[in-house]
Amino acid sequence: MSQGMRTITRLFISVAAVFVSALGFYAFGGVYSEHAQTAIVHRFGDVMDWKSRWIAGRDAINCGTVPVRGDSATATDCALQAFAVHRSFRVRYGLQTVDTLMAAGVVAAPNGRVYELIFSGGPPTGATDILRQRVAVNLCPVPTTLRRTPRGRVTCFDAGRHTTANWTSSWLSEAP
């Protein structure tokens, strides 16, 4: 096959991939459909999933995701036990908010560093907005001490301490 033909074939494949992707979004009701976004996030995860997996590493203990108003005891116990034996772990708690989908979590890396993650992902309907989701990663104080909050979640910050990220603070660990 000639060089020109290879270039045309690659271009055709690229255009076809873009077309199929756009068609997939429209099949769910429009280019910005909540159904399409929910399907994508369900299959591939959101930025908080990606970031927490990257920080915690392959061998980390997944202590789970606690939904809004869910029982956090098992997940929090898991995180505290993993931390006590110096294992990497990740835990996530859904937060009740009025105007956006939010979550908070704690992730321990294999090197012993611990981070608090705060996620903002979209409307409070429960669908993650794949274009506007973001996660703030805050390094916990060193040496790190984990504590159970009054709501049963795990945090590395003292009560009332605010983090450096301008749109987050550890008070989110205590959000309903």
20-63 pLDDT tens trace: 666 666 555 554 566 666 666 667 778 889 999 999 999 999 99
Give which of 123, 82, 131 is closest to 106, Cα–Cα.
82
Q: Which residues of 28-65 are buried (b: 16+ CB within 10 A; e: fewer)?
A: beeeeebebbbebbeeeebbbbebbeebbeeebbebbb
**104-143 per-residue burial string, b: 16 or more CB within 10 A, e: under 16:** bbbbbbeeeebbbbbbbbbeeeebbbbeebebbbbebeee
The secondary structure element, H or E, covering residue 91 is strand 89-95
Q: pLDDT value at position 167?
A: 44
pLDDT in tens, 97-135: 777 778 899 999 999 999 999 988 876 666 666 667 888
Determine the Cα–Cα distance for residues 152 and 14; give it in Å rounded to an integer.
49
**Phi and psi torsions of 29, nearest 5°:** 110, 15
pLDDT at position 45: 74
Higher-pLDDT residue of 140 and 47 is 140
CA distances from 172 to 49, 54, 157 (A): 18, 22, 11
Q: Are 50 and 134 within 8 A, CB to CB?
A: no
DSSP 164: S
Burial of 170 (0-12, 13-18, 19+ CB in 10 A): buried
DSSP state of 139: E
| For residues 50-77, average pLDDT | 94
The DSSP output letter for 33 is -
Confidence band for 165, pLDDT divided at 50, 70 and 90: very low
